[in-house]
């Protein structure tokens, strides 16, 4: 009996040290740090996935606007798409662009408070390389996790995507902003050419 009590006390002591060293109750409630081992099932990542799924499921209800631009220089947008909900909040922002040897599409997903929570980047290069990159953000804008899948023969995709290439804040201003490339105006429907 005495051996069992000492073992129990030792286990309780070790457990307490691990619990409080790892952030205590807050760490236990939010799943702790996102790691390579736990990211797929981590509560914070699941929260971001739920936002992504909700935005995609409700896309038909979003007010979608689109702007197209001619290709004029590497890295400039050739397409911008924005989706706002009934309250006028941006929930989705997409931009596409490229260069002579590659192209990229960035899809940004925002929560109901207008905070960037997820970016999905897809791309390709003339070498045959394909890219899928997922970037997860918490409600404070901190990068939780970044996952890249690229196919051979490879390309110079950055492993951690530079924040200046992500639309972290004010996607509506970016959508409306000018471009050095000429905008392609949509033709009026119903008109026939002579």
pLDDT above 70 covers what percent of the chain?
81
Q: pLDDT: is 179 or 5 the higher one? A: 179
pLDDT at 26 over 60: no
Residues paired with residue 183 on neighbouring β-strands, in sequence order: 69
pLDDT computed for residue 156 by the predictor: 84
Helix, strand, or coil here: 94? strand
Mean pLDDT of the chain: 85
φ, ψ dihedrals at 127, nearest 5°: -70, -10
Q: pLDDT: is 13 or 73 the higher one? A: 73
Helix, strand, or coil here: 110? strand
Reported as half-sphere exposure (CB side, CA atoms, 13 A), residue 124 has a value of 2
pLDDT computed for residue 69 by the predictor: 97
pLDDT at 99 over 80: yes
pLDDT at 33 over 70: yes
Q: What is the pLDDT of residues 45-90, one digit of tens each?
A: 999 999 999 999 999 999 999 999 999 999 999 999 999 999 999 9
Extract the tokens encoding 117.
């929570």
Q: What is the pLDDT of residues 112-126, one digit of tens each?
A: 999 999 999 999 999
Residue ranges per structural domain of the chain: 1-30, 39-184
Extract the tokens encoding 100.
């002579």
pLDDT above 90 covers what percent of the chain?
71
């Amino acid at each position: 009996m005495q051996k069992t009590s000492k073992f129990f006390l030792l286990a309780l002591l070790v457990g307490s040290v691990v619990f409080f060293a790892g952030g205590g109750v807050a760490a236990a409630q939010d799943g702790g740090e996102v790691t390579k081992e736990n990211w797929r099932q981590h509560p914070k990542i699941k929260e971001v996935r739920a936002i992504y799924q909700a935005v995609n499921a409700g896309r038909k209800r979003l007010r979608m606007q689109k702007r197209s631009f001619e290709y004029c220089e590497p890295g400039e947008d050739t397409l911008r798409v924005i989706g706002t909900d009934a309250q006028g909040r941006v929930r989705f922002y997409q931009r596409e662009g490229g260069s002579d040897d590659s192209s990229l599409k960035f899809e940004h997903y925002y929560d109901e408070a207008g905070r960037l929570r997820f970016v999905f980047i897809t791309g390709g290069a003339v070498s045959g390389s394909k890219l899928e990159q997922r970037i997860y953000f918490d409600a404070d804008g901190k990068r939780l996790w970044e996952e890249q899948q690229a196919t051979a023969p490879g390309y110079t995709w950055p492993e951690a995507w530079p924040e200046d290439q992500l639309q972290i804040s004010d996607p509506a201003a970016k959508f409306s902003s000018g471009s050095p490339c000429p905008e392609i105006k949509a033709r009026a429907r119903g008109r026939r050419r002579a």
